[in-house]
């Protein structure tokens, strides 16, 4: 019984990690840069909802819609104004660029919204309900359902829509895609918009479970670990990695201690990095000399 | 970013280390007069100095050797907690405790550097991030040792039994140590070791075919960054007198990167400039204190996109521009 | 004496066999050229000897010592220098700094003596600088010490790379297309230099190139590769007349000289 409980809980958080992982892999496949600030964009998404409710008086769902739209716009601007100008610089500079974006978001939120936590509404009731001896909350169900919906929508998008196909093509082979008429630059903009939307959705889904504060961005590392677990080169892999991480993390937290739970992600990460074969990430392209 | 790591082009047996020390002393002399300078100012300058030591370590490993390191906060923590706990639990004075912690941190740094065999770029950023996070988690959860999230009070430095707690006293400790270590770093960069660091940044392949053991040098760069970070951390602990685990996290590592980017990626002078900006911005903002993090972050973004050379780069670029303008006028 | 002995060398990239069971002997104090159509595996051979590629099988002996499997920096320290097809200079460094990196491999001081500016450090640095300057002056680059290498014309960049490779005092020099991108007059100068290096300094040179003005004029021996396999070997004249070689180059004019 406990095992099923753990599974349920793990799948809940794992589904959110999966969404964040999708965002990471999307941007990486499209631009060969890991967006280290994506975690902060997750935070931003949740905060935008609060801002919409507080300052514009929006009801919850309108605030959510507005937040997602704004997040997409934000992603577009970031790509246009920061990432594109530095796309010709060495990878080190681009990495620092994404870190800087994350820092700016975090500090901006802290400045404008304060360093303390904010309460966030649950989509459905968080009260535990018992079915056949297993405790779960309807809010968990809402999270899992919403996450699955997001992933399904993404899948449909990539498989059946023209823009989705273009994105995949540009990810596989930018030069080839360019030659067959795919507007690669525009596709990259769309990639950033999509990843930002995914991040915002993940933030909105997870905000009820954890305290919403500017520090929330560390979920980015979990999303990244999930992506790494999934091999970092495939979108389905990212999803699988997310669920895997969620379950492992919850299991560790339940069967050992909560302190270990925090460390799980990092230990997993270090293990995968050390043990995985060289070059799968693509950074060691064979340089022709 | 057009700096060469060495300035050997001038003379082979130049002693730039002594020159750096002389320069710093010249700059520091006016500040030695306590009647002119307030205690607060001395404290600020001291903070700039200890921060710039940490930044200098990062200049070596990330600026010159080109290895991204988000582990600097971890090394700072090792120096700060290490020296403080040695003083508190074992009665070992920080005069010894800081060097000892620095050596230990250096060993950790070297091992971390060896990991670069398996990874570079993004993965390395991640691995170094993970180190910082792990160190922070250990500090927070090992409460019996570190007092956990409650933080740890720092015992003051003593000399002959007398505690050194005033701004002036700490100033006289921190500044000479900083100047001395900067001189050592400058000497190092102006040698075959520094050239090897720059070489492996610019072309690992060529470097390896010129007898440079790339893995060893990368590990050495990390070890040196750890030593500088730990010394900076130990000194800063004495200055802030209280250790809060919250200030040794990934964000702080990113802030150190920001400092060297803003100051000028590859130069020691950049480490000082960036640290100065970082320390002074809060005072400049006055009433808008809470925006200091945002201001710094925006400054970082602006630097990356508009002035990749940082402040130090602006200096030489500005000089070059000024010179060419002057040449133009003479025609 | 044989400077370099390659036996049964096989290099694979995935399913592709780039070098197939190659036997190659380079005599000391000679200039040995490795030629062949594009994709024949010539650069791969050089890269494998210099330990930038792993080999699937075979052995490489340099001055009777096995070097296959050793890391690149050890092979360099053993006395093997090389240049690259597309010049791998250190792009942000000056001419002098580039050559200093080449010269410093024979120094031995570490980070601590460097920090403390010991006497050994100063003596070693003096030696390094003298060696670098001597080479640069010899190559006519005395005026360019402080020029950033990417600001140099291509022919001069090539010279800097050659100086850098020589600065470590190698006994074997591996040159990957040293004449590519050079004009006729510059190629003549290159030929003179390489011959001088062989005669005055006892260097052994193994070079890869397509430019026949180099290969035909200065090679003591020529080895021809096609599809990773040796198809001919011998003096310039012998190889030139070999019908195998002519077949390999079918459709291409092999002789310019």
Question: Which position has the higher pLDDT, A124 or B245?
Answer: B245
Neighbours of B300 (CB within 10 A): 27
Answer yes or no: are the C-beta atoms of A129 and A135 closer than 8 Å: yes
| Domain assignment present for B253 | yes
Q: Which of A20-29, A54-63, B105-114 has the highest mean pLDDT?
A: B105-114
Q: Is a pLDDT exceeding 50 seen at residue B256?
A: yes
Using CA atoms, how far apart are residues C10 and C80, in angstroms rounded to an integer?
A: 21
* b (16+ CB within 10 A) / e for B241-263: eebebebbbbbbbbbbbbbbbbb
Using CA atoms, how far apart are residues C245 and C231, in angstroms rounded to an integer?
A: 7
* Interchain proximity A107–B125, CB inside 8 Å: no
Q: What percent of chain C has pLDDT over 70?
A: 97
Q: Is a pLDDT exceeding 90 seen at residue B142?
A: no
Residues 6+ apart with CB under 8 A from B12: C125, C126, C128, C129
B 15-34 residues inside an 8 A Cβ radius of C: 15, 17
Which pLDDT value is given to residue B298?
92
Using CA atoms, how far apart are residues B39 and A106, in angstroms rounded to an integer?
A: 33
Q: Which of A20-24, A112-116, B57-61, B310-314 has the highest mean pLDDT?
A: B57-61
pLDDT band at B33 (very low <50, low <70, confident <90, very high): low
Q: Does C139 touch chain A (CB under 8 A)?
A: no
Using CA atoms, how far apart are residues C35 and C212, in angstroms rounded to an integer?
A: 9
Q: Would you state the structure tokens that stand for residue A80, as one six-digit string?
A: 């246009």
**pLDDT tens-digit profile of C87-109?**
899 999 999 999 999 999 988 89
A114 to chain B: nearest residue by CA? B290
Question: Which of C76, C114, C124 is the closest to B210 by Cβ?
Answer: C76
Question: Which position has the higher pLDDT, B323 or A192?
Answer: A192
Which pLDDT value is given to residue B12?
36
* b (16+ CB within 10 A) / e for B93-129: ebeebbbbbbebbbebbbebbebbeebbbbbbbbbbb
Answer yes or no: are the C-beta atoms of A182 and A189 closer than 8 Å: no
pLDDT band at B222 (very low <50, low <70, confident <90, very high): very high
Q: Is a pLDDT exceeding 80 seen at residue A77?
A: yes
B182 to chain C: nearest residue by CA? C115
Give how far the C-alpha of residue B203 lies from the chain's centroid of Cα atoms, to the nearest Å: 25
Instruction: Classify C26 in phi/psi space as left (phi over 0), alpha (psi -120 to 50) or beta.
Output: beta
- Mind telling me how many Å the CA of B105 is from chain A's nearest CA? 19
Q: What are the beta bridge partners of residue A130?
A: A135
Residue B28 CB-density burial (10 A; 0-12 exposed, 13-18 middle, 19+ buried)? middle
**pLDDT tens-digit profile of A102-114?**
999 999 998 888 8
pLDDT band at C137 (very low <50, low <70, confident <90, very high): very high
- Mind telling me how many Å the CA of A168 is from chain C's nearest CA? 26
Residues 6+ apart with CB under 8 A from A104: B294, B297, B298, B300, B301
Q: Would you state the structure tokens that stand for residue A189, as one six-digit string?
A: 């903009």
With DSSP H G I counted as helix, E B as strand and the rest as coil, what are the percentages for chain C, rounded to 5?
A: 45, 25, 30
Q: Is A136 helix (H, G, I), strand (E, B) or coil?
A: strand
pLDDT band at B1 (very low <50, low <70, confident <90, very high): very low
Comparing C-alpha atoms, which of B3, B47, B29 is closest to residue B275? B47
Using CA atoms, how far apart are residues A165 and A167, in angstroms rounded to an integer?
A: 5
Q: Is C140 helix (H, G, I), strand (E, B) or coil?
A: coil
Which pLDDT value is given to residue A266?
80
Q: Is B86 helix (H, G, I), strand (E, B) or coil?
A: helix
- Number of domains chain B is built from: 1
Q: Is a pLDDT exceeding 60 seen at residue C257?
A: no
Which pLDDT value is given to residue C134?
94
Q: Which domain holds residue B245?
A: 16-330
Q: Does B126 touch chain A (CB under 8 A)?
A: yes
- Domain ranges, ordered by start, for chain A: 17-217
Q: Does B144 touch chain C (CB under 8 A)?
A: no
| Domain assignment present for B5 | no
Using CA atoms, how far apart are residues B10 and B188, in angstroms rounded to an integer?
A: 16
| Domain assignment present for B9 | no
* b (16+ CB within 10 A) / e for A170-208: bbeebeebeeeebebeebbbbbbbbbbbbbbbbbbbbbb
Range from A220-224, A271-275, B25-29, C127-131 carrying the lowest mean pLDDT: B25-29
Using CA atoms, how far apart are residues B291 and A115, in angstroms rounded to an integer?
A: 11
Mean pLDDT for the stretch of residues C25-38: 91
Angle between helices B121-141 and B250-263 (to 10 degrees): 130
- Mind telling me how many Å the CA of C73 is from chain B's nearest CA? 4
Question: Which of C73, C84, C104 is the closest to B195 by Cβ?
Answer: C104
| Number of helices (H), then strands (E), in chain B | 14, 4
C13 to chain A: nearest residue by CA? A286
Answer yes or no: are the C-beta atoms of B173 and B164 closer than 8 Å: yes
Contacts of A284 in chain B (CB under 8 A): 120
Give how far the C-alpha of residue C8 lies from the chain's centroid of Cα atoms, to the nearest Å: 21
Which pLDDT value is given to residue B319?
53
Task: Tell me the ipTM for this assembly.
Answer: 0.91
Which pLDDT value is given to residue A76?
95
B63 to chain A: nearest residue by CA? A92
CATH number at residue B42: 1.10.3470
| Domain assignment present for B219 | yes
pLDDT band at B24 (very low <50, low <70, confident <90, very high): low
Domains defined along chain C, listed by start: 1-79+170-257 (3.40.50.300), 90-167 (no CATH)
Give how far the C-alpha of residue C127 lies from the chain's centroid of Cα atoms, to the nearest Å: 24
Using CA atoms, how far apart are residues A7 and A265, in angstroms rounded to an integer?
A: 17
| Cα dihedral across residues C211, C214, C215, C216: positive or negative | positive
Question: Which of A34, A108, A266 is the closest to B133 by Cβ?
Answer: A266
Q: Is a pLDDT exceeding 50 seen at residue A283?
A: no
Pair type for strands B162-164 and C16-27: unpaired
Which pLDDT value is given to residue B231?
97
Q: Distances from the Cα of C28 to the Cαs of B252, C58, C173, C198, in angstroms?
A: 58, 21, 11, 9
Mean pLDDT over each residue of chain A, to the nearest integer: 82
| Domain assignment present for B290 | yes
Which pLDDT value is given to residue C132?
95
Backbone angles phi, psi at A257, to 5 degrees: -145, 165
Q: Is a pLDDT exceeding 90 seen at residue A271?
A: no
Angle between helices B94-114 and B72-90 (to 10 degrees): 140
Residues 6+ apart with CB under 8 A from A145: none
Residues 6+ apart with CB under 8 A from B30: B36, B37
Comparing C-alpha atoms, which of B67, B106, B147 is closest to residue B233? B106
Mean pLDDT for the stretch of residues B71-94: 94
Residues 6+ apart with CB under 8 A from A180: A169
* Interchain proximity C73–B213, CB inside 8 Å: yes
| Domain assignment present for B3 | no
* Interchain proximity B202–C93, CB inside 8 Å: yes
Mean pLDDT for the stretch of residues C75-97: 93
* Interchain proximity C125–B209, CB inside 8 Å: no
B5 to chain C: nearest residue by CA? C93
Question: Which position has the higher pLDDT, B278 or B16?
Answer: B278
**pLDDT tens-digit profile of A106-144?**
999 988 888 887 877 766 666 677 776 667 777 777 788
Contacts of C165 in chain A (CB under 8 A): none
Q: What percent of chain C has pLDDT over 90?
A: 63
Backbone angles phi, psi at B298, to 5 degrees: -65, -35
């Amino acid at each position: 019984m406990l095992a099923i409980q753990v599974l349920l809980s793990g799948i809940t958080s794992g589904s959110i990690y999966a969404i964040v992982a999708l965002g990471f892999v999307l941007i990486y496949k499209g631009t060969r840069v890991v967006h280290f600030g994506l975690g902060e964009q997750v935070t931003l998404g949740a905060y935008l909802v609060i801002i919409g409710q507080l300052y514009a008086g929006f009801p919850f769902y309108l605030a959510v819609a507005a937040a997602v739209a704004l997040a997409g716009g934000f992603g577009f601007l970031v790509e246009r104004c920061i990432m594109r100008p530095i796309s010709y610089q060495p990878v080190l500079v681009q990495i620092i660029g994404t870190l800087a974006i994350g820092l700016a978001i975090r500090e901006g939120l802290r400045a404008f919204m304060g360093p303390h936590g904010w309460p966030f509404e649950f989509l459905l009731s968080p009260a535990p309900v018992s079915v056949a001896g297993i405790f779960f909350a309807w809010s968990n169900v809402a999270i899992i359902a919403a996450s699955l919906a997001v992933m399904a929508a993404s899948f449909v998008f990539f498989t059946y829509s023209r823009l989705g196909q273009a994105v995949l093509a540009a990810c596989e082979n930018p030069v080839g895609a360019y030659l067959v008429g795919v507007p690669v630059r525009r596709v990259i903009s769309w990639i950033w918009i999509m990843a930002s939307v995914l991040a915002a959705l993940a933030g909105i889904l997870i905000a009820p479970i954890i305290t919403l504060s500017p520090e929330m961005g560390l979920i980015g590392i979990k999303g990244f670990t999930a992506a790494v677990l999934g091999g970092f080169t495939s979108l389905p892999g990212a999803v699988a990695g997310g669920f895997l991480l969620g379950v492992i993390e919850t299991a560790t937290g339940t069967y050992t201690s909560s302190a270990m739970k925090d460390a799980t992600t990092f230990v997993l990460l270090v293990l995968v990095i050390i043990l995985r074969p060289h070059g799968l990430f693509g950074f060691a392209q064979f340089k022709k000399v | 970013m057009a700096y060469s790591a060495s300035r050997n082009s001038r003379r082979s047996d130049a002693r730039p280390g002594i020159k750096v020390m002389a320069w710093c002393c010249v700059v520091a002399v006016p500040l030695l007069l306590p009647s002119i300078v307030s205690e607060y100012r001395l404290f600020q300058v001291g903070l700039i100095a200890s921060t710039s030591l940490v930044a200098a370590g990062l200049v070596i490993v990330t600026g010159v050797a080109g290895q991204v390191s988000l582990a600097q906060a971890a090394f700072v923590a090792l120096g700060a907690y290490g020296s403080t706990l040695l003083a508190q639990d074992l009665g070992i004075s920080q005069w010894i405790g800081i060097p000892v912690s620095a050596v230990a941190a250096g060993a950790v740094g070297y091992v971390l550097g060896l990991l670069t065999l398996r990874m570079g770029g993004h993965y390395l950023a991640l691995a170094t991030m993970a180190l910082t996070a792990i160190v922070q988690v250990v500090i927070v959860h090992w409460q019996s040792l570190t007092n956990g999230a409650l933080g740890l009070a720092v015992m003051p430095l003593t000399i002959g039994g007398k505690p050194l707690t005033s701004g002036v006293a700490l100033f006289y400790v921190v500044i000479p140590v900083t100047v001395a270590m900067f001189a050592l770093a400058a000497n190092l960069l102006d040698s075959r070791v520094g050239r090897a660091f720059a070489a492996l940044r610019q072309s690992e392949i060529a470097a390896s075919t010129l007898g440079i053991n790339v893995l060893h040098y990368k590990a050495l760069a990390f070890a040196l960054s750890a030593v500088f970070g730990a010394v900076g951390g130990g000194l800063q602990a004495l200055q802030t007198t209280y250790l809060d685990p919250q200030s040794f996290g990934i964000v702080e590592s990113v802030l150190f990167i920001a400092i060297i980017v803003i100051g000028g990626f590859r130069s020691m002078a950049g480490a000082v400039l960036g640290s100065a900006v970082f320390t002074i911005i809060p005072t400049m903002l006055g009433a808008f204190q809470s925006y200091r993090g945002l201001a710094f972050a925006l400054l970082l973004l602006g630097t990356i996109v508009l002035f990749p050379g940082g402040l130090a780069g602006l200096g030489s670029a500005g000089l070059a521009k000024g010179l060419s303008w002057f040449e133009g006028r003479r025609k | 004496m044989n400077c370099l002995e390659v036996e049964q060398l096989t290099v694979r990239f995935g399913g592709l066999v780039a070098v197939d069971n190659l036997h190659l002997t380079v005599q000391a104090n000679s200039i040995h050229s490795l030629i062949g159509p594009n994709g024949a595996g010539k650069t791969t051979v050089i890269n494998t000897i210099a330990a930038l590629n792993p080999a699937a099988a075979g052995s490489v002996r340099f001055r009777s010592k096995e070097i296959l499997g050793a890391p690149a920096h050890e092979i360099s320290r053993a006395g093997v220098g090389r240049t690259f097809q597309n010049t791998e200079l250190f792009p942000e460094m000056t001419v002098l700094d580039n050559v200093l990196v080449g010269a410093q491999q024979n120094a031995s001081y570490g980070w601590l003596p460097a920090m403390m500016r010991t006497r050994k450090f100063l003596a070693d640095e003096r030696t390094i600088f003298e060696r670098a300057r001597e080479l640069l002056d010899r190559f006519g680059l005395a005026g360019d010490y402080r020029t950033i290498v990417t600001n140099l014309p291509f022919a001069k960049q090539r010279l800097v790379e050659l100086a850098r490779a020589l600065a470590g005092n190698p006994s074997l020099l591996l040159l990957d297309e040293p004449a590519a991108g050079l004009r006729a007059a510059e190629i003549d100068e290159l030929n003179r230099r390489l011959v001088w290096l062989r005669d005055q300094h006892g260097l052994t040179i193994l070079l890869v190139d397509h430019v026949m003005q180099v290969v035909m004029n200065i090679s003591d021996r020529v080895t021809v590769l096609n599809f990773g396999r040796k198809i001919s070997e011998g003096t310039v004249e012998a190889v030139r007349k070999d019908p195998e070689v002519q077949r390999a180059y079918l459709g291409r004019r092999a002789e310019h000289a």
